[in-house]
């Protein structure tokens, strides 16, 4: 097993409070995410998981109290796959608007291969299924050089084998010194310590 979380925090959250529609979703939420952290945000529908992730990513900039410090490049995968139907999977990744890094052709082929899209590299994406769109998006994880991953429901529309692959990838990433904050309703089946952040019961220890 790897060493536990250590090192400088990649993300620090101080006294976060969020109110939506007159209801307090969470208050005084403070935590740090360090290299080696695998954090699963848990809570019923409407608990504010997606809102929290959008605040962490910096997409929501108003309407909450508290402070978020980001100390590394981050990769955010939201509900929408950001895959252009008119571009092929290869073009989607090569010209990705997230601007994380410039990928080589073989890197992209490798990544698409790993998400099970071998042979689909140059097929227009509108010919792919919804699950395959998600997989094109997940290929970004294999290419990513960002230390911090923020994943909103990454398992949606992914088959069982894909979920297992993805869990393996997440563990590899945190063992390499990255960190993951993700939302999911399914418990993660990984041989790694998962830090739970429950939005109903308050804060993790």
Partner 1 sequence: MSAPAEAPATGAFCLALLRRQLTLAARRPIEIGNPLLFFAMVVALFPLGLGPAPDKLAGFAPGILWIIALLSNLLTSETVFRSDFEDGSLEQLLLAPQPLFMSVLAYIGAHWLTTGLLLALVSPVFALMINLPGQAIGALVASLLLGTAVLSLVGGIGAALTVGLKRGGMLISLLILPFYMPVLIFGSAAVQNAVLGTPAVPYLAILGAMLCLAIALAPLAIAAGLRISVDA
Residues that bind partner 1 (CB under 8 A): 35, 57-63, 72-74, 76, 78-87, 91, 94-102, 145-147, 173, 176-178
Residue closer to partner 1 by CB (options 39, 74) is 74
Rg of the chain, C-alpha, whole Å: 17
Q: How far is the CB of 44 from partner 1 (least distance, A)?
A: 24
Q: Which of residues 40 and 88 has its CB atom nearest to partner 1 in the complex?
A: 88
The smaller minimum CB distance to partner 1, of residues 98 and 163, is found at 98
Q: Following DSSP, what letter does each residue of 142-185 receive, concatenated?
A: HH---SEEEEESTTTT--HHHHHHHHHHHHHHHHTT-EEEEE-S
Complex with partner 1: residue 148 or 199, whichever CB lies closer: 148
Q: How far is the CB of 77 from partner 1 (least distance, A)?
A: 9
How many other β-carbons are positioned within 10 Å of the β-carbon of residue 3? Answer: 10
CB 86, min distance to partner 1, A: 5
Cβ burial, residue 179 (10 Å; 0-12/13-18/19+): buried
Tell the smallest beta-carbon distance from residue 187 to partner 1 (Å).
26
Strands (E), the chain: 11-20, 23-33, 38-42, 64-70, 74-77, 148-152, 179-183, 195-198
Which CB sits closer to partner 1, 66 or 78?
Answer: 78
Question: Exposure pattern of 74-113 as b/e (b: 16+ CB <10 Å)?
Answer: bbbbbeebebbeebbbbbbbbebeeeeeebeeebbbebbe
Q: Closest separation between CB of residue 61 and partner 1, Å?
A: 6
CB of 145: closest distance to partner 1 in angstroms?
5
Residue 79 or 189: the one with the smaller Cβ distance to partner 1 is 79
């Amino acid at each position: 097993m790897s060493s536990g979380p250590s090192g400088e925090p990649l993300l620090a959250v101080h006294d976060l409070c969020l109110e939506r529609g007159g209801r307090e979703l969470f208050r005084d939420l403070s935590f740090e995410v360090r290299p080696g952290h695998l954090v699963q945000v848990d809570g019923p529908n409407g608990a504010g998981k997606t809102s929290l992730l959008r605040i962490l990513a910096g997409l929501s900039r108003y309407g909450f109290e508290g402070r978020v410090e980001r100390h590394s490049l981050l990769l955010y995968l939201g509900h929408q796959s950001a895959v252009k139907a008119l571009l092929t999977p290869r073009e989607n990744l090569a010209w990705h608007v997230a601007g994380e890094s410039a990928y080589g052709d073989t890197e992209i082929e490798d990544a698409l291969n790993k998400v099970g899209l071998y042979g689909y590299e140059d097929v227009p994406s509108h010919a792919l299924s919804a699950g395959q769109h998600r997989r094109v998006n997940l290929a970004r994880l294999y290419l990513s050089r960002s230390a911090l991953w923020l994943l909103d429901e990454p398992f949606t529309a992914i088959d069982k084998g894909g979920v297992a692959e993805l869990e393996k990838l997440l563990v590899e990433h945190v063992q390499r010194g990255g960190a993951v904050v993700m939302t999911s309703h399914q418990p993660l089946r990984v041989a790694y310590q998962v830090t739970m952040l429950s939005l109903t019961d308050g804060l993790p220890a």
